[in-house]
Amino acid sequence: MHQICGKTRASAALPQGNIELKFNFKLTKPFGGNGELFVNGAKVDETEMPRMHIKTYSLAETFDIGFDCGTQVDRAYEGSPFPFTGELDRVTITLTD
């Protein structure tokens, strides 16, 4: 389960073995847009993200990969840094206009 814009969402468990995860954000208005989540090339969820941070950013929120050293995604999670115990082959971040 996770929260996006105040909505709690749940999904099926990820498949075993090698998988590809992709998150795509499409800007549709100033400081807002749609988020899409893909697993192995198939879109599994999407949500409207009506507003993003405009003027404030937390120093605790960085590009953590494999663990979360900042605030948790959802208050239902306890403890930190939630280490990932599998293996990451690669992480690609692509920024476009």
Domain ranges of the chain: 2-8+17-49, 56-86
For 13-45, what is each residue's pLDDT tens digit?
A: 888 888 898 889 888 988 888 989 899 999 988
Give the whole-angstrom CA distance, residue 80 versus residue 69: 7
Residues 6 or more apart whose CB falls under 8 angstroms from that of 90 comprise: none
Give the whole-angstrom CA distance, residue 1 versus residue 39: 16
- At 83, list the tokens: 């280490």
Q: What is the pTM of this model?
A: 0.68
Residues 6 or more apart whose CB falls under 8 angstroms from that of 82 comprise: 67, 68, 72
